[in-house]
Amino acid sequence: MKEKEEKKFLKSIQMSLRVGLIVFFILSSLGLIFKNGFLLSYGIIALVFTPIMRVIMLCFGFYRLKEYYMALASFGVLVLMTISLLI
Amino acid sequence: MIHITTIGYFFLVVFGAFIGLLGSVMGVGGGVFIVPLLVLVFNIPIQNAIAVSLISIIATSSAVASVNVEKGLANVRLGIVMELTMAAGSIAGALLMSHLPTKIVSLAFSIFLFPVSASMYLKSRKKIVVSNFKQERTSPIGGTFFDPASGQNISYKAERMPLAILFSFFAGALSGLLGLGGGVVQVPVMNILCKIPIKAAAATSNFMIGVSAAASALIFYKKGYVISDISFYVSLGTLFGSFLGMKFLYKAKSEKIQTLFSVLIFIVAIRMIFKSL
């Protein structure tokens, strides 16, 4: 049971990273094809936010697995990344 | 305004692919190669080059981690614990960038890299002893992965974590100060200090460097240093190279990766000494 949950957890991390990369690729490619600077920039922003999404998934995942210290560490990373966004 | 020809863009993709291949095998982002190339070959200002480098590091990290997490090579628990101080260091580094003399930081860093390089080289010469721990995991910071090169399941437990966490802060600070991912510090720290097998160390480093690069990239993006089209072409190449490199990492012999890494660290140390003089 625990192994199944762990696999599901790792799969969700994998998915968050892949979705970020796909969004980056699609938006940036469209931006280049249609010479749209905004789309290109949004693609880059999607890529920059991919690790942040991954940290959010880790935070929720560890919480669901009842690994509270790890969830707290993930939340700490998230707070620090928010700080860098505000600087 | 930076003008790059079609051949120039093609070269950026090819170069990015090479960096992605190198990065995915060794757990580094390749910032030490991307920044000088953009500055010296394409005449791009250093701040913009660092910003492009950080974006491509995120691409490499995300691509590699998306595969290695499932294979069990990247240790998410070890990664998140070390990311905590790494992210703090990254912010501190980005804030200190304008106050600290970068030359002194570069010199101190390069002097630190020589013994690390020597230690990794000596370790690669010894025969790798495969740990035969029982499959049970007594520590949350440990893991097991299948190594096709040795044909065995390799289990490990991270040692000396407090010291590794401290070094992680230093790796993060380098990311903010010099535009590196920090893998050049993280991989030897995990491999030598924490006794983590080199493949797991490289994969976990790749998993982590995306966070430190993103923390610094956000600051660079807000300052307007990111050049979107150049970032896209370099990242496209690194994505392609990363997926190729992962196949190599999985099958490669650990001692060869260690030798390659020790050479890389030596080159980085020499380059940084010249830069700081």
- Please write the tens of the pLDDT for every residue from B222-269: 888 899 999 999 999 998 888 888 777 667 776 777 787 788 778 877
B195 lies in some domain: yes
Confidence of residue B129 (pLDDT cuts 50, 70, 90): very low
Give yes or no for residue B128 having a pLDDT over 60.
Answer: no
* Helix-, strand-, coil-residue percentages of chain A, each rounded to 5: 90, 0, 10
Least confident of A17-26, B25-34, B190-199: B25-34
Give yes or no for residue B102 having a pLDDT over 50.
Answer: yes
Share of chain B above pLDDT 90, in %: 13
Q: Please, what is the average pLDDT of chain B? A: 80
Q: In whole angstroms, give the CA distance from residue B48 to residue B38.
A: 9
Give yes or no for residue B137 having a pLDDT over 50.
Answer: no
- In chain B, which residue's Cα lies nearest the Cα of A49? B214
Radius of gyration of chain B (CA): 18
Give yes or no for residue B136 having a pLDDT over 60.
Answer: no
B84 lies in some domain: yes
B236 lies in some domain: yes
Least confident of A43-47, B34-38, B54-58, B130-134: B130-134
Within 8 A by CB and 6+ apart from B12, the residues are B4, B230, B233, B234, B237
What is the SS3 assignment for A53?
A: helix
Give yes or no for residue B57 having a pLDDT over 60.
Answer: yes
Which among B79, B110, B55 is positioned nearest to B225, based on CA atoms?
Answer: B55
Confidence of residue B105 (pLDDT cuts 50, 70, 90): low
pLDDT for B131 = 45
Confidence of residue B104 (pLDDT cuts 50, 70, 90): confident
Residues of A in contact with B70 (CB under 8 A): 10-11, 14
Share of chain A above pLDDT 90, in %: 75
Q: In whole angstroms, give the CA distance from residue B141 to residue B200.
A: 12
- In chain A, which residue's Cα lies nearest the Cα of B238? A21
Query: What is the signed CA dihedral for B76, B81, B86, B92, rounded to 10 degrees?
Result: 140
Q: Beta partners for B146?
A: B153
At position B251, the amino acid (one-letter code) is K
Q: B194 lies in which domain range?
A: 6-276
- Total domains, chain B: 1
Distances in Å between the Cα of B49 and the Cα atoms of B33, B37, B39, B44, B190 are 11, 9, 6, 6, 28
Residues of B in contact with A48 (CB under 8 A): 55, 58, 214, 217-218, 221
B78 lies in some domain: yes
At position B234, the amino acid (one-letter code) is V
CB A44 to CB B55 under 8 A?
yes
B261 lies in some domain: yes
Chain B touched by A26 (CB under 8 Å): no
Confidence of residue B19 (pLDDT cuts 50, 70, 90): confident
Give yes or no for residue B77 having a pLDDT over 80.
Answer: yes
B177 lies in some domain: yes
Which among B89, B24, B12 is positioned nearest to B62, based on CA atoms?
Answer: B24
Q: In whole angstroms, give the CA distance from residue B180 to residue B136.
A: 36
Chain A touched by B69 (CB under 8 Å): yes
Q: In whole angstroms, give the CA distance from residue A75 to residue B87.
A: 12
pLDDT for B174 = 76
Q: Read off the tokens for B10.
A: 């093609």
- Please write the tens of the pLDDT for every residue from A10-48: 999 999 999 999 999 999 999 989 988 899 999 999 999
CB B91 to CB A80 under 8 A?
yes
B1 lies in some domain: no
Compute how many other C-beta atoms are within 10 angstroms of the C-beta atom of residue B248.
12
